[in-house]
Amino acid sequence: MSTRKQLLFWAVLALGASSLVGCEETSSANCASGDQRVCMCSGDRTGLQRCDTGGFWGDCLCDGVDAGVDANTGVDGALPGDAGADAGGPDGGVSNPCLSSATSHLLISEVATQPAEAELIEIWNPGTTAVDLSGLHLSDSATYHLISTGAPWSPGGAVPGSDFLARFPPGSTLAAGAVLVISAGTDFYGTFSSCPDFAIGDDATLCQGTAVPKMVAPANGSLGTEEGSMLSNSREMLMLFCWDGNTATVVDVDYVTWGDAYDALSRADKTGVAGYAPDTPIADQNPAPMIVLANGDESMGRCDVTETGETATGGNGSTGHDETSEQMGTTFSLFGAASPGAVNSCN
Ligand SMILES: [Ca+2]
Ligand SMILES: [Ca+2]
Ligand SMILES: [Ca+2]
Ligand SMILES: [Ca+2]
């Protein structure tokens, strides 16, 4: 974390902002059952804290590890979907997929923005275990985080239908080492002679006569309507993120932005939004290289699995990373031949 960000981070804490709090215990009920908030873990990491049925804040859950019995209530603090047993008490370890270390490994591995036929997004699981995609969402709008507030989908911009916020179909998984491809274009097969795994957009998407499964539009989200114009050639972002449908905040998983002529809609920044740590200011984000068809570029692809430059603590990611700090100008490269559905040749 930069010195400036550290100062801002601790300044927020010093002010006692309710959105970013410690794990204090009080003797009287002090929250509404079901509420959740960001809390502090060791060092300068953040975790999630849930208000139990008695109206007390439970343990601060750090890196997906259940701290066990709450010192105040004597009850092990459960999270939605929490199951199984642990040493702390009856409810057991955290299974919230948004806090899973496996989920945190998922990466946006390849993007094509043009021509219109070819628009695509590829997601890669470089880990050694399959990942349940339940709760995983993908959006190209800086408003993506509003889904957890219940705000209606309203991405702004000149053509709102060119933006989307979609989730993976229930039950879908991504095997260890595998990639999956989402088509946002108008003729995937005609361009790549293969079929995508999923599609966004409202039109029926056929591949050799077979319907391509659609991503799912959640309440307060959208598949978009502008196939072939979903991914801006000149300034755009993609955020792979997790939301379990209950928590007050979303969890960033991986992020890429491109275009030097950025604006507030084409780069994510949740700084100042209740419940979130500061993101990297949009002016300081390091974009991936843009595709230039005249140069023979077909896609931008990730060649760096380590997310070089990414701040590892104090951020809004599932293990505390600040996804918006990755040096995407370094970690992504331009390819003369796209490889949708295949691990990039540089990996
Ligand atoms: Ca495009
Ligand atoms: Ca868009
Ligand atoms: Ca990243
Ligand atoms: Ca690829």
Encode the chain (347 residues) as per-residue pLDDT tens digits: 444 444 444 443 333 333 333 334 445 677 777 676 665 655 444 556 677 777 877 776 654 444 444 444 444 444 433 433 333 333 333 345 676 777 788 999 999 999 999 999 999 999 998 998 988 999 999 999 999 999 999 999 999 999 999 999 988 999 999 999 999 999 999 999 999 999 999 999 999 999 999 999 999 999 999 999 999 999 999 999 999 888 899 999 999 999 989 999 999 999 999 999 999 999 999 999 999 999 999 999 999 999 999 999 999 998 889 999 999 999 999 999 999 999 999 99
Ligand 1 centroid distance, CA of 309 (Å)? 27
Q: How long is the chain?
A: 347
Dihedral pair phi/psi, residue 52, rounded to 5°:
-80, 180
Is 122:107 a contact under the CB 8 Å cutoff?
no
pLDDT in the model for residue 86: 36
Which amino acid, residue 237?
Answer: M
Ligand 2 centroid distance, CA of 240 (Å)? 14
pLDDT in the model for residue 73: 43
Ligand 4 centroid distance, CA of 202 (Å)? 25
Q: Which ligand has the minimum distance to the alpha carbon of residue 179?
A: 4
Q: Which residue in 257, 237, 254, 245 sits closest to 317, CA to CA?
A: 254
Dihedral pair phi/psi, residue 174, rounded to 5°:
-125, 115
Is 237:140 a contact under the CB 8 Å cutoff?
yes
Ligand 3 centroid distance, CA of 305 (Å)? 9
Ligand 2 centroid distance, CA of 224 (Å)? 9
Convert 20-49 to b/e letters by CB count within 10 Å (16 or more is b): bbebeeeeeeebeeeebbbbbbeebbbbbb
- What is the residue-wise DSSP string for 87-127? TTBSS-S---GGG-TTGGG-EEEEEE--SGGG-EEEEE--S
Ligand 3 centroid distance, CA of 187 (Å)? 29
Round to whole Å and give the CA distance between 45 and 62.
Answer: 8
Taking the mean position of all CA atoms in its chain, how far away is CA 317? 8
pLDDT in the model for residue 11: 40
Round to whole Å and give the CA distance between 339 and 209.
Answer: 22
pLDDT in the model for residue 32: 78
Q: Which ligand has the minimum distance to the alpha carbon of residue 291?
A: 1
Round to whole Å and give the CA distance between 66 and 79.
Answer: 9
Taking the mean position of all CA atoms in its chain, how far away is CA 300? 19
Q: Which ligand has the minimum distance to the alpha carbon of residue 342?
A: 4
Round to whole Å and give the CA distance between 31 and 144.
Answer: 27
Q: Which ligand has the minimum distance to the alpha carbon of residue 196?
A: 4
pLDDT in the model for residue 97: 61
pTM of the model: 0.75
Q: Which ligand has the minimum distance to the alpha carbon of residue 288?
A: 3
